[in-house]
Amino acid sequence: MVRNPVVRDLREPKHIPVIPVPTVFIPAQMRNLTRGVAQVVVAGDTVAAVVDELEAQFPGIRQRLCHGDSLAPGLQVSVDSTVTLRGLRSKLQPGSEVHFLPAFGGG
């Protein structure tokens, strides 16, 4: 398990190399918990695992993202370009992007 994840700053969004672990995009309203950092490279094969890693580095972020074993109400997870339905159980590939978005339906 990676204990010292590489913490990447947002100011160079176009220069992210392909890296063998997932990248979590921190919602703008939670960046105060990550010292302003917008993307965090962190190992894990599920969203739950990367949230655990994030909490270890940035205490307090888990209670914003989760309620118990589920995503916080009003949130959904997108892995790369796919909004997943499996929430914290969603599986990740090396190089996956993880985004936390407002939940929405349709009409």
Partner 1 sequence: MTTQNELYLGKPSYSVLGRRPVRHDGADKVTGKALYTADVNLPNMAHGKIVRSPHAHARIKSIVVSEALKVPGVFAVVTGKDWPDLKDKVAVMGEAGTVNLMHLGANCLAIDKVLYKGHAVAAVAAVNAHVAEEAARRIRVDYQVLPSVTWVLDAMKDDAPLLHPDLHTDSMGKKADKPSNVAVHLQFEKGNIADGFKLADLVVEREFRTASVHQGYIEPHAVVAMWNEDNRLKIWTATQGAFNCRQQTAELLQISISQVLVVPCEIGGGFGGKIAVYLEPVAALLSRQCGRPVKMVMQRNEVFEGTGPTPGSFIRLKLGAKNDGTLVAGEAWLAYDCGAFPGGMIGPGCMCVFSCYDLPNARVNGYDVLNNKPKTQAYRAPGSTQAAFACEQIVDELALKLGIDPIEFRLRNAAKEGTRRVDGPVYPRVGLVECLRAAQNSDHWKSPLTGKNRGRGVASGFWFNIGGASSCSASVNDDGIVNLVEGSTDIGGTRTSIAMQLAETLGISAEDVRPQVGDTDSVGYTFLTGGSRVTFATGLAAYKLGLDLQEQMKQRAAAIWECDPAAVQVLNGVYNHLGRSLTFKQIAAKIAEHKLDPVMGQASVTPEGSTNSFGVHIADVQVDPETGKTTILRYTAIQDAGKAVHPSYVEGQMQGGAVQGIGWALNEEYFFDAKDQMRNASFLDYRMPTCLDVPMIETIIVEVPNPSHPFGVRGVGETPIVPPPATIANAIQRATGVRMSELPISPARLWKALAGQAEEDGPEPCGERSS
* Residue ranges binding partner 1 (CB under 8 A): 10-11, 13-14, 25, 27-31, 38, 63-65, 70-76, 78-85, 93, 96-97, 99-107
- Do residues 28 and 102 lie in contact, with contact meaning Cβ atoms separated by under 8 Å? no
Give min distance, CB of 101 to partner 1, in A: 6
What is the torsional sign of CA 17, 18, 20, 25? positive
Nearest partner of 34 among 13, 6, 12, judged by Cα = 6
Give min distance, CB of 9 to partner 1, in A: 11
Give min distance, CB of 64 to partner 1, in A: 4
Nearest partner of 70 among 94, 91, 90, 55, judged by Cα = 90
Q: Which is nearer to partner 1, 57 or 78 (CB)?
A: 78
Residues in the chain: 107
Q: Which is nearer to partner 1, 57 or 95 (CB)?
A: 95
Q: Which is nearer to partner 1, 35 or 80 (CB)?
A: 80
